[in-house]
Amino acid sequence: MGYQRRSVDLSGYPDLVVIYLGYRATSLAGLRSLLRIGRGLREIKADPPPGLLSHEDMWFGLLHPGFRQYWRDFDSLEAYTRASQHMGWWRDFARNAGAGGIWHETYRIGGGMEAIYSGMPPIGFGSFAPARAPEGSFMSARQRVTARS
């Protein structure tokens, strides 16, 4: 079969959200956290939460794995981030915050992008955009993705 040029029709996904997330282990405790997160991600792939269209594992470096996810809409993504499974991972990371760093970047097809970095050197948006503390009207991903100033 020869070279075939293809594209996709995203018209059926007017509220599509894409999120990239990475975790960088910096210690043995960070590697243990990484293994726990990996188990959870396998569960997500086996039984996707409502609204998750696709999950793809990625590697940004030797000890810097991550993933890309496609969500039907921001409401589905936000509902999942408030679920007990996700909250458990976040609590585990917070307990061992010095063991590694975590980041994500979110892109909405209808406009708006946001990011957060914890324990990470400047990467992605952080490599060129000015830093801003995630507090007040800039605290949640929903607030950041719609912020214009």
Question: What does the pLDDT look like over 64-100, one tens digit per residue?
Answer: 889 999 999 999 999 988 876 667 766 776 777 678 8
Specify the pairing of strand 64-71 against strand 52-61: antiparallel
The sheet that has 52-61: what strands, in order across it? 52-61, 64-71, 17-25, 100-108, 113-118
For the packed helices 28-46 and 84-95, what is the interaxial angle rounded to 10 degrees? 170
Counting residues of the chain whose pLDDT is more than 90, the rounded percentage is 34
- 3-class SS at 56? strand
Residue 14 confidence (pLDDT): 95
Question: What does the pLDDT look like over 107-130, one tens digit per residue?
Answer: 999 899 999 898 888 888 998 898
Q: Residue 106, class by beta-carbon neighbours within 10 Å (0-12 exposed, 13-18 middle, 19+ buried)?
A: buried
What long-range pairs does 117-125 form, CB within 8 A, spacing at least 24? 118/93, 119/24, 119/26, 120/22, 120/24, 123/22, 124/20
Question: What does the pLDDT look like over 36-72, one tens digit per residue?
Answer: 777 778 888 899 999 999 999 999 888 888 999 999 9
The structural domains of the chain, ordered by start, are 23-146 (3.30.70.100)
The pair of three-digit structure tokens given for residue 14, joined into one six-digit string: 């007017």
Residue 52 confidence (pLDDT): 95
- 3-class SS at 36? helix
* Element spanning 104, H or E: strand 100-108
Q: Which residue, among 67, 47, 52, 45, has the nearest Cα to 16 in the 3D structure?
A: 52
